[in-house]
């Protein structure tokens, strides 16, 4: 094996100049990515497309998988991992998880030297991997600028639309199967550049005009996300950290205890008056930072316009104010509505009806609205709805940020009623609520500004406070990308 490695020089010796007319075939794990293990991605797939029980089973059997992979057969080890992760799961759910969950973790692990060589080739960029094509394809094409993925094909039951857990076609793509796939893809016009990191890549690298090895290095420089083909703005899934085996074990061990902690936090603080909850939060391990000057009580009330991080935002604004407020929302589950300590008023999506409803609430007191319409985890703000701007000249922008270490308190495809519980399952969840100066008269519709101008101004003020970037993306864009539907579902 050592002699085989010496056949190919290091990627550090690869000359990138003049490759605009070249084609490249490159492995993924350990080559274009720093990590050589695909376990974290199969764990994410098992947890997000399947269940935590399935993910726990994968972790439990990981020593056996590693034994088979290292000492028996690389293909057999990968086949076992595929079976546990996807057997019986609808292929549609696998595709959604691959598009909504995995890219964020892939994008944080792209290796700089091999990615630059990959991008330098302008004729064709092909990734050759033992991973299932369906889970790699969205990331490679959107984030790496790849043209094609040659990977392992999953077998799907045509009657049920579910993955059987076995592989189709040529089988798991390793060794000579990678070479055959490259030869079939390129024909006689073989790639000028082949990049790999292990012995099972040598077969396809040998038929390329040049081959380079990527040496293992866990501390190898990674590509900043703003240098990839796309930025991660929308992503789904519950897990915050990349689930390496040790991190995955900690998550699974913490889950039952975290659930008990979350239930205690919710039901202990629920009957406490808003002006006291900030103190009881400290007792239950919740960090709440309140900045700026909260608007005083008034009639009519203030329209508190905030960005949207989790379903808890209006409740935390009420706690930060120290008094009850009303909240308007497009959708809320019955469980969340029942457990909410503040009134949640549903909107109808009819502009005139919703405007009348919000105006009536403002006559009674303060109203919280999240005009993004949906949550966004990354440091971006989605386009604000201009509806709120026409309803009041007493507009107070509120900047909200959260910090969590284990679980995200938001989801697209999961159970929405569970979002607050997942947020409170973090060991030390943090909320930051910043009250910004109220808009001056001349900055409102009453001062001659259009509703769109007011909405854009509020969005910019909040983004500047948080250090976030404004986008033209909307709630519908998010749900189209992550949920596979038109954004009209809650």
DSSP 473-488: --HHHHHHHHTSS-S-
DSSP string, 54-84: HHHHHHHTHHHHHHIIIII-HHHHHHHHHHH
On whether residue 236 sits in a domain, the answer given is: no
Name every residue whose Cβ is closer than 8 Å to that of residue 278 and which is 6 or more positions away in sequence: 288, 290, 319, 320, 322
Domain span at residue 211 reads 2-227
Residues 303 and 334 in one domain: yes
Structure tokens at 229: 């083909």
Q: What is the pLDDT of residue 391?
A: 84
CATH classification at residue 62? 3.40.50
On whether residue 239 sits in a domain, the answer given is: no
Q: What is the pLDDT of residue 296?
A: 92
On whether residue 235 sits in a domain, the answer given is: no
CA distance 189 to 139: 26
Show which of 184, 199, 227 is a domain's final residue: 227
Q: What is the DSSP letter of 219?
A: T
Q: What is the pLDDT of residue 210?
A: 95
Residues 326 and 393 in one domain: yes
Are 138 and 98 in contact by the 8 Å Cβ rule? The answer is: yes
Other C-beta atoms closer than 10 Å to the C-beta of 441 total: 12
On whether residue 157 sits in a domain, the answer given is: yes
On whether residue 390 sits in a domain, the answer given is: yes
Phi first, then psi: what are they for 156, rounded to 5°? -125, 135
Q: What is the pLDDT of residue 335?
A: 66
Residue 365: closest CA among 313, 321, 430: 321
Name every residue whose Cβ is closer than 8 Å to that of residue 215 and which is 6 or more positions away in sequence: 10, 11, 197
Crossing angle of the two packed helices 313-321 and 274-283, in degrees rounded to 10:
110
- Whole-model pTM: value is 0.91
Residues 274 and 318 in one domain: yes
On whether residue 238 sits in a domain, the answer given is: no
Size of the chain, expressed as the number of residues it contains: 490
Rg of the chain in Å (alpha carbons) = 26
Name every residue whose Cβ is closer than 8 Å to that of residue 1 and which is 6 or more positions away in sequence: 199
CA distance 305 to 398: 6
**Element spanning 380, H or E:** strand 380-381
Name every residue whose Cβ is closer than 8 Å to that of residue 7 and which is 6 or more positions away in sequence: 202, 206, 211
Peptide bond into 414 cis (omega under 30): no
Residues 177 and 76 in one domain: yes
Phi first, then psi: what are they for 152, rounded to 5°? -75, 135
Residues 254 and 196 in one domain: no
Residues 249 and 173 in one domain: no
Are 1 and 89 in contact by the 8 Å Cβ rule? The answer is: no
Show which of 197, 227, 257 is a domain's final residue: 227
Show which of 200, 227, 254 is a domain's final residue: 227
Residues 346 and 211 in one domain: no
On whether residue 410 sits in a domain, the answer given is: yes
Residues 323 and 448 in one domain: yes
CA distance 37 to 217: 13
Residue 60: closest CA among 248, 258, 214: 248
CA distance 243 to 224: 20
**Element spanning 238, H or E:** none
On whether residue 434 sits in a domain, the answer given is: yes
CA distance 32 to 13: 16
Residues 380 and 473 in one domain: yes
Residues 367 and 446 in one domain: yes
Cite the beta strand spans of 203-248 per DSSP E: 210-213
Residues 395 and 441 in one domain: yes
Q: Where does residue 285 fall: left (phi above 0), alpha (psi -120 to 50 degrees), or beta otherwise?
A: left
Q: What is the pLDDT of residue 163?
A: 97
Residues 257 and 208 in one domain: no
Structure tokens at 204: 């396809």
* Domain count across the chain: 2
Q: What is the mean pLDDT of each run of 10 residues along the chain (490 residues)?
A: 62 95 97 96 96 96 94 94 97 95 97 97 97 96 97 96 94 95 95 95 95 96 94 94 96 97 95 93 96 91 94 94 89 70 81 86 92 92 89 93 96 88 97 97 92 94 96 90 61
Are 483 and 413 in contact by the 8 Å Cβ rule? The answer is: yes
């Amino acid at each position: 094996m050592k002699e085989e490695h010496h056949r190919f020089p290091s990627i550090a010796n690869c000359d990138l100049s003049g490759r605009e007319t070249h084609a490249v075939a490159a492995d993924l794990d350990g080559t274009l990515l720093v990590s050589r293990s695909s376990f974290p991605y199969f764990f994410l797939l098992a947890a997000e497309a399947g269940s935590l029980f399935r993910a726990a089973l994968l972790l439990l059997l990981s020593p056996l998988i590693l034994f088979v992979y290292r000492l028996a057969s690389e293909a057999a080890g990968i086949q076992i991992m595929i079976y546990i992760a996807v057997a019986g799961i609808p292929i549609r759910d696998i595709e959604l998880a691959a598009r909504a969950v995995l890219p964020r973790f892939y994008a944080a692990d792209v290796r700089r030297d091999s990615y630059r060589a990959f991008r330098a080739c302008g004729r064709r960029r092909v990734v050759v991997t033992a991973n299932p094509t369906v889970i790699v394809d969205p990331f490679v094409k959107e984030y790496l600028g790849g043209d094609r993925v040659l990977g392992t094909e999953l077998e799907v039951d045509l009657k049920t639309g579910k993955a059987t857990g076995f592989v189709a076609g040529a089988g798991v793509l390793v060794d000579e199967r990678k070479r055959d796939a490259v030869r079939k893809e390129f024909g006689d016009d073989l790639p000028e550049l082949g990049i790999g990191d292990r012995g099972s890549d040598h077969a396809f690298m040998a038929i390329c005009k040049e081959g380079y090895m990527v040496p293992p290095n866990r501390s190898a420089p990674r590509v900043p996300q703003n240098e990839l083909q796309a930025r991660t703005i929308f992503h789904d899934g519950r897990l915050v950290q990349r689930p390496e085996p040790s991190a995955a074990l900690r998550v699974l061990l913490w889950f039952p205890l975290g659930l008990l902690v979350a239930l205690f936090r919710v039901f202990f603080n629920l009957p406490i008056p808003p002006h006291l909850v900030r103190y009881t939060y400290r007792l239950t391990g919740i960090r709440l930072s309140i900045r700026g000057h909260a608007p005083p009580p008034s009639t009519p009330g203030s329209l508190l316009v905030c960005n949207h991080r989790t379903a808890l935002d209006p409740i935390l604004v009420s706690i930060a104010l120290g008094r009850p407020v009303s909240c308007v929302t497009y959708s809320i589950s019955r469980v969340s509505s029942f457990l909410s300590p503040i009134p949640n008023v549903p909107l109808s999506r009819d502009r005139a009806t919703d405007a009348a409803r919000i105006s009536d609430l403002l006559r009674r007191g303060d109203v919280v609205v999240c005009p993004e319409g949906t949550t966004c985890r990354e440091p971006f703000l989605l386009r604000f709805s201009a509806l709120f701007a026409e309803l009041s000249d007493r507009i107070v922008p509120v900047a909200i940020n959260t910090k969590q270490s284990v679980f995200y308190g938001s989801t697209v495809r999961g159970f929405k009623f569970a979002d607050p519980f997942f947020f409170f399952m973090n060991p030390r969840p943090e909320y930051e609520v910043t009250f910004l100066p109220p808009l001056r008269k001349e900055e409102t519709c009453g001062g001659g500004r259009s509703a769109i101008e007011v909405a854009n101004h509020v969005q910019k003020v909040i983004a500047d406070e948080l250090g976030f970037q404004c986008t033209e993306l909307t709630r519908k864009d998010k749900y189209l990308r992550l949920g596979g539907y038109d954004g009209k579902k809650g």
